[in-house]
Structure 1
């Protein structure tokens, strides 16, 4: 899993086009951007690889999905100074998830969906204090408090953040964060999978840290 962040966003726009005229021309220029007070570094156990190991076909359900044991990975975020941020997920495994809200595990050689994985963040500590999760579906304009006590799912497209006061005003400014990233995979019913040789599970997701 890869982590990306943006330190400086810059937009340049002009209200006039270049014109082939002998007369003097003018153009209004606007330059927009934000300089953030402290860049953040994200570190994830094992280089970001959740290894599910070898899975025997006869250990999987034929006519129902099979949940596998979760893979837990330590995750740390360290910022130069306290800054407000949130997380959002991107599924890089194409349209392979059997659950639209989760992340795909790739396809068999016969183009069948192998399953999907839920990505959750649990035991989140921010600057030494316990935290409360928030989500936003409108780019951070409004926030909703998550009532689930643990294992908050990393959304695809939406934002997820944390604060210390359980309020819906948005994430707190954070300098240091520790969490457990839980990868909970589920394999599709084997009756719909062609497994005549080894099938490689090939899930790939990006968790972006977004400055607010």
Structure 2
């Protein structure tokens, strides 16, 4: 009688994950508040450019383990060719261009402050891997296989009004509305039960806040 011995499979965790992020931001604001309609107004604007890369995308973390594969983690197949894993674009929320505009208006006589913020994210190309697909390369062996997907630009408008009357001795109340226009902005995609599903940013939200300064 011949008995086959089963040897355990081992999982190895290390600090081999590497990422890089480059960003440039240009911001401007008025040096002195301007007065109009019995209120003071401060305007802030900024434009940001960023580029993120990650050789260990979100689909391969501590939960990733396939003992049947002989995976080469230094290379990946992306958009029709083999590239270094460190050059793979970030697999989520990698908008290269962002615009931010904020306007704060204050009516000191009435204790009112009105805040508005407009944010815009440019379109992006994102690396996606909907299935556990691999590419067998003659030179580099088995590689994770990714494709490129286009995500459209998106924007949101948020606002908040705060009332802090002088007679309230430090008490104030504010109402905040995020995504005032209730835009359906696609932020990401994922696979569930073999279906590609869209992930959206939060829709319109209302927040009521009461404060007391002492």
TM-score under structure 2 normalisation?
0.28
Work out which structure has the larger RCO, using CA pairs closer than 8 Å and 6 or more positions apart in sequence: 1
Considering fraction of residues, name the structure with more strand: 2
Structure with the greater alpha carbon radius of gyration: 2
TM-score by length of 1: 0.29
